[in-house]
Amino acid sequence: MLPGPPRRENGGCSHCCEKGLLAYGAGSSIVIVDCRSMQVVSVLPMPPSSSSPLLLPAPFVTSLQWTPQAMQKDLTQELSTAHLRLAVGDRQGRIAIWDAGSGQVTHWLNFESEKGKLGIQDVCWVRGKGKGSWLLMAIHGPSLLAIWSTLTARCIWKYDAAPHLLVSLRRDPFDFTHVCVLGFKGLLLSIKVTGDGENEMVLKEHQLQVSEIGNSKSDKEGGNNHSSLSPALALFPNVFVKCLFSSRWAHILYVMFPREIIIFDLQYGTPLSVTGLPRGSAHFFDLITDVHGDLLYCAHVDGKLSTWKRKEGKQTYILCMVEALIPLMGTSVPSPTVLAVSYCSSELEIEKAGRIDLEETSGVNLFELPVYTEKTASSILSGQSALVPETALISISDDGKVWKWLLTAEVPGDVHIQEMNHTVSGGSIQHNVKEILPDLLDTQVDGHSEEENAIIQQLRTSMFRRHEPVFQLNLTGQLHLLSSTITTLAVPAPSLTATLTGGGNGPAIAVPLVALATQGGCIEVVDVVATAVVTSFSVHNNAIRGLRWLGNSRLVSFSYTQVNEKAGGYINILAVTCMRSGISRLFRVLQKPERAPVRALRASPSGRYLLILFREAPVEVWAMTRNPQM
């Protein structure tokens, strides 16, 4: 199954698990992609509701999250897939717990009463009582917060925050029983789960002072036709409010509003700093991740990625880099819109993070240390650039493309040559940096005295402090899926499926291809066996109404637009696309609108002749030579 592109109604929901599987919402389906091979693993369509579909909105996927890696697995099975369970919420108020391995829904979580119609805004896993016990917290509708038991499929706790709109849930990486809930106007709820009972939830409330949001017409555009049961995503589709815990400091929370980021200390209940957007910058779209508390990556509504670096010794951030998350070359005009951005954590990064002792390295600035392999050490010693920990990101655009990016920060090689020539001393011990470089690249420092360990940690925190790193965003992978809704398709004759040959005297390899016409004016050629888009052609400016094969290497398509002037009529556009060269040429170009639109196309088996059928007009026969003639 080939999925369609994501929609704005999906709210940018996406999540990448530690195993490198990316899940994101695309209409009423969940698409699972392997981030290493950039191939579709599975497409999970949300089942229809048992209620009357006329009374409910479309089941667009609005939130999803993989189960935590530490979730208890079923050891009775030879190959457990407990880590491949996915919580998915939709606009109809349903929460499905999917087993991604089997493609089946194991549990449904929804209210039986009127509350069951409350669309899901966000979901988050939280640790319950007992080892391996996990609960699911969800925002239902505009203001209802609920905690569900996935074992009994029952709601064990509810809290109504009305009249506040709730928008975002985040779990504390230092305490999996602690979750923060963010409101649209600055309400911040800190919830601690102490058990599985209704009275075993500890709730603290904070209020952030934020500028007015959601009052302009542009903020409400597209959300005026929704009821009071709709979540904030449907009421304010153009306003994004998110929160994110710091990965380095406990109790520190980043709170993102459209034009500012607030650093909030949950322990003392006070904001530490406010970082505003520079003038002329597009509004924030999402908080992606922070790198050891020193770098903060943010996405913007115009498809840009911004990198913010923390000032030394402070909890304030300065803007360092802004890059586009869609390549400037090879994209259509107007440029596609980025609808989702996700941080992709690899197994290597997880393994590396697991070796870090938070107590021993609490005074170490991990960002300033390139914690990598022997290859990194050799690059430093040879005078090449040394990389600060890499960050893999996935961006998903509304034209059906999934982009994989690698974000790095490096210091020029000549800087390291100077650093390598220095010697450092601690008490009676002197070392050349080259001698202890392997220890600099290892977060575990064993076999050294306290003085030597102090030297190593000193170098860790100061080696890159004197020089500003240079950030680079590189495209490392791409996945091309369907660009828009399919309007029609064309299947070549069985004898004509041998195409895309590599030349030579041997027979052509039969490649079963299907051409799909889309509402956006593109032609997608799909390999049926591989279930993948082989190539794509942007041919028309509006929906393609008809499509036919001309032999095994050419496609003919048509579209039309209705003229709204007094004379009326239709402008018919016909084009021939060569699959080998990728060139599309228009034919039968007329200067004035016609009385009737094209109704259908018929091609001869060889592709030499084409019949153009009109609505209430004579049929035309064309010879499809290099320059088509009627």
Averaged pLDDT for residues 219-245: 79
Q: What pLDDT does 30 receive?
A: 96
* Same fold: 117-324 with 484-623: yes
Q: What is the DSSP letter of 193?
A: E
Q: Could you tell me the two tokens for 588?
A: 């039968």
Q: How far apart are CA 474 and CA 444, in angstroms?
A: 30
Per-position b or e across 544-560, b if 16+ CB within 10 A of its CB: bbbbbbbbbbbbbbbbb
Residue 464 to residue 486: CA distance in whole angstroms:
52
Nearest to 464 by CA among 292, 305, 284: 292
Measured over the CA atoms of residue 266, residue 267, residue 271 and residue 277, the dihedral's sign is negative
Token pair, residue 425, equals 């001393």
DSSP tag of 439: H
What SS3 state is found at 453? helix
Fold topology of 117-324: Methylamine Dehydrogenase; Chain H (2.130.10)
Whether 508 shows a pLDDT value over 80: the answer reads no
Listed by start position, the domains of the chain span 117-324, 358-476, 484-623
For the chain, counts of helices (H) and of strands (E)? 7, 41
Mean pLDDT, rounded, of the chain? 81
Per the CB < 8 A criterion, the answer to whether 84 and 21 are in contact is yes
pLDDT digits (tens, 9 = 90+) for 101-110: 899 999 999 8
Question: Beta partners for 340?
Answer: 396
pLDDT digits (tens, 9 = 90+) for 411-420: 655 544 454 4
Whether residue 1 has pLDDT greater than 90: no
pLDDT in tens, 279-302: 999 999 999 998 878 889 999 999
* Helix-helix angle 374-381:413-420, to 10 degrees: 80
Burial per residue of 39-68, b for 16 or more beta-carbon CB atoms within 10 angstroms, e otherwise: ebebbbebeebeeeeeebbebbbbbbbbbe
3-state class (DSSP) for residue 489: strand
The rounded Cα 459 to chain-centroid distance in angstroms is 36
Domain 484-623 - what CATH class? mainly beta
Ranges 239-243, 380-384, 429-433, 555-559: which has the least confidence: 380-384
**Which residue from 1, 55, 56, 68 is spatially nearest to 30, judged by alpha carbons?**
1
29 pLDDT above the threshold of 50: yes
**Residues with Cβ within 8 Å of residue 436, at least 6 apart in sequence:** 452, 455, 456, 459
Band (pLDDT 50/70/90 cuts) for residue 495 is low
Token duo for residue 256: 């993102």
| pLDDT per residue as tens digits for the range 69-96 | 655 444 444 445 556 899 999 999 999 9
- Strand 61-66: give its sheet, edge to edge: 61-66, 85-90, 95-99, 104-109
Residue with tokens 């509402």: 519
What's the CA gap between 56 and 120, in Å, rounded?
13
Long-range (24+ apart) CB contacts under 8 A made by 436-439 are 437/377, 437/380, 437/381, 438/374, 438/377
d(CA 119, CA 358): 39
Tell me the whole-structure pTM to 2 decimals: 0.81
CA distance 187 to 185: 6
Is the pLDDT at 18 greater than 50, yes or no?
A: yes
